[in-house]
Structure 1
Amino acid sequence: MNNRLMIPASHWLKTDFHTLFRTRPDGRIVCENDPDQTPGPRFWLAGCAETNLCATRADLPDGLVAELEGLAASEPPFVHPNTPVHLERYLSLLGGDGPAEHNFGLVFELPHDTPYQGDARLVGSDSEEGAGMMRSWATDRIPKAWFDLGFREVADFWTPWCAAIVDGEVASLAFAARLADTGAELGLVTAKAFRGRGFGAAATAGWSQLPTLRSRTLFYSTDRDNVSSQRVAARLGLRLRGASLRIS
């Protein structure tokens, strides 16, 4: 049986929400669910063909939250490439003296054991080779290609991860950008010298096969204008299921 059809849309969106954010008991967003606990959006709206889900950050006034939630309740299903009906009103309410910053996202299903044929060798963080690589980098410094991409120490390689190795170098790394008990959101970085050659897809497929992710729903998300990330999803045949709006 196709396990993609077994998760109702409302449950799937709620799992995505609780994977992305840390929340108060009432569901208000406290921060992103990443190791750095970065600030979350002030307003988040996600939808698919069957349903929508919205959330607000914990520091917003209750009156503003009620108005935002009232508008969101009247939104038709928010699907790509549509724009939320009340977008301008959301931006006005949250913008103060000018429109608030916002971006649109796409949310793909990432099945476990996603197949992909490629030339890269895959190494997981839970393997002895992966652990040895991190020990080596902690001692001998992180390779310049990855240091230049913002990886300053081994703690920046958020586990669980899967690396695509080409000619002895890490070409691409898929990692847990968000990790919760029930879901995991993939993050993906490819070294500049290896981009456009399918290694990101290889690392993503390898990540979907990691034993530590077996009990979690996996998500592959990207900005609407991130063409290269969408190419990875296309290489893997991932199903686009949801769309999102973030207002910061």
Structure 2
Amino acid sequence: MNQRDAAVRRLDLGYFVRPSAEAGEPHPRVEPAYGYLVRRPEGLLLFDTGIGEVDPETEAHYRPVRRPVLAALAAAGIGLDEISLVVNCHLHFDHCGGNPALAGRPIVVQRAELAVARRPGHTIPELVDFPAARYEELDGEAEIWPGVRVLPTPGHTVGHQSLVLRQPDGTVILAGQAHDFAYQFGSARLARRAARDGVAEPLPPTPEWLPRVLDLDPARVLFAHDGAVWEPSSDEWRQA
């Protein structure tokens, strides 16, 4: 199978600079913005669409360098008209920025996320309500195509969602910004295991959605702002 026909392909959609105060580190941190192209018999799905245009204050704060979604798709050998469906993990400007370029395609979003995105201060209004915007609103978990499931993973935003893909070689989860980094997912998984093993408190809290994710036996978990991929070791595949 060539790269164009890969079942899941990561797209480089640019990067931004997170200020040190936000990063919780002594220095600013440069973070990628990734989208994911998913090929299924039903068509091509795009999970997240990149960094949108923002107001001057936000621009100065994050100093984004954008790779437009059309350029990223073209580099992957994909035409805009080949995209059948868009799924955003949430509607912050660095995840839904290319949505207007895909006007007319259905955009799958949690109802709670769309509602909060329409309130002042959550995101950039022009990236949410643009001409020919077409939303398919969900209230919780749902199978949107055979073997493709949307799973609520709230925390970063109230309506954050991840995408679950049943693949021949195991389940792949596109986790968006459910965690910023792959190691954080691994740490949360270990914290849950420690609690189940009766390790004495204190232990770190874990997200309410984590048991559901782990029930799906993920073989790989991919993220929006981290190029690392979480994978279980073979001897702990079903221990968490």
Q: Same fold (TM over 0.5)?
A: no
Normalized per residue, which structure has more helix? 1
Instruction: Return the TM-score normalized by structure 1.
Output: 0.26
Select the structure of larger CA radius of gyration: 1
Relative contact order higher in (CA < 8 Å, ≥ 6 apart): 1
